[in-house]
Amino acid sequence: MISRATPLKRVLEISSPCNKCGHCCKFNSGLIIEEDIDRIAEHLKMDKDLFILTYLEETEMFHTKAFKLKTEFKKDKPYGECVFFSPAEGCKIHDVKPLFCQTSNCFAYSQDLISWFYLNYLVNPDDAESVRQYASYIESGGRIIPGGQLHELVPDSERLKKILEYEEL
CA distances from 68 to 19, 52, 148 (A): 22, 10, 23
28 is a domain residue: yes
**pTM for the full predicted model:** 0.90
Per-residue pLDDT at 26: 81
- How would you class 88 by CB atoms within 10 Å of its CB: exposed for 0-12, middle for 13-18, buried for 19 or more? exposed
Per-residue pLDDT at 56: 97
169 is a domain residue: no
2 is a domain residue: no
Degrees, nearest 5: CA angle 112-114-119: 95
32 is a domain residue: yes
61 is a domain residue: yes
Each residue's pLDDT expressed in tens, for the chain with a length of 169 residues: 899 999 999 998 888 777 777 778 888 888 999 999 999 999 999 999 999 999 999 999 999 999 999 998 878 878 888 999 998 888 899 999 999 988 887 776 788 999 999 999 999 999 999 999 999 999 999 999 999 999 999 999 999 999 999 997 6
Per-residue pLDDT at 164: 97
Name the nearest CA neighbour of 80 among 32, 28, 31. Answer: 28
157 is a domain residue: yes
Per-residue pLDDT at 23: 79
Per-residue pLDDT at 2: 93
Name the nearest CA neighbour of 82 among 104, 61, 56, 60. Answer: 56
**Structural domains of the chain, count:** 1
Collect all residues with Cβ–Cβ distance below 8 Å to 154 and sequence separation of at least 6: 125, 131, 160, 163
The kind and range of the H/E element at 25 are helix 23-27
Name the nearest CA neighbour of 31 among 9, 2, 7, 64. Answer: 64
1 is a domain residue: no
Per-residue pLDDT at 158: 96
- Domain limits at 125? 8-164
Per-residue pLDDT at 25: 82
